[in-house]
A and B are shown apart, each in its own frame.
Chain A
């Protein structure tokens, strides 16, 4: 296997792991969103590597990358909307204080 492809895939795996740690361990909503951003960044690097090293002739691969970037922007927009609503209602975006949302 090409070392470049392997390096890119391992980078994606490491970013996914760091993102999972951040999303699960942080108590602040904005920090949790940062973890999710890192998880999506891991997916992004994998998709770019697959397109570049395996299928550079098929541009649907780049299309996938654009979709993941869109998802990143959507996550930020909706997440900040929720953060503002939460801050207005409770004066905090600490998720430890959001136990009443539990089903």
Chain B
């Protein structure tokens, strides 16, 4: 019982940290701080997965998001007019509508979570090694087509993103290859 209580405490703690850092993303005028807050939010989510005994996905989440948010921070510095936030520029619009949509969305989903009968909850999770093994079997068995499709989609997106980002020859008629 004590272990379950401790687990609940950590799940709630990391969940609150993920929400807190998520809010912090849009409350600071420094873009670097925004990117770091998002990194901490996603890392807290990964830690929450670990607290839920979903080890493989927890570690994967932390590793993926650390890389992704570092790249995002670099893009922030490249593209923002005021990445340090020293000018305290206003970079929001339709604030009231956005807050209303966020609150309504949260309440709607929270209502579904609270008032749905989810059935019997299974207290024990499979051991970490068993989870990784069984996920590997799932990926290379029943879900192989989905897994392969995801891989090909990533490759397509990489090529598409590179093609979009390349300078257009039509826009630069004097461009010499």
Contact = CB atoms under 8 A, between A and B. Distances in A.
Given A34-B25, A37-B42, A77-B157, 4 more contacts: A41-B18, A45-B15, A59-B137, A72-B68
Given A18-B26, A81-B164, A10 B113 contact: yes
A98 interface: no
Contacts of B22: 14-15, 18-19, 38, 41
B33 to A, nearest CB: 12
A87 B78 CA distance: 10
**Secondary structure call for the A interface:** helix
A1 interface: yes
Nearest to B158: A77
A73 B102 CA distance: 23
Interface of B: 7-8, 11-12, 15-16, 18-19, 22-23, 25-26, 31, 34-35, 38, 41-42, 45, 48-49, 52-54, 56-57, 60-61, 64, 68, 71-72, 75-76, 78-81, 91-95, 97-99, 101-103, 105-106, 109-110, 113-114, 118-119, 121-126, 131, 134-135, 137-139, 142-143, 146-147, 150, 153-154, 157-158, 160-165, 167-168, 171
A82 B118 contact: no
Contact of A24 (B18, B94, B168): B94
Contact of B118 (A5, A12, A93): A5
A6 B98 contact: no
Contact of B95 (A5, A25, A34, A82): A25
Contacts of A18: 19, 22-23, 25-26, 102
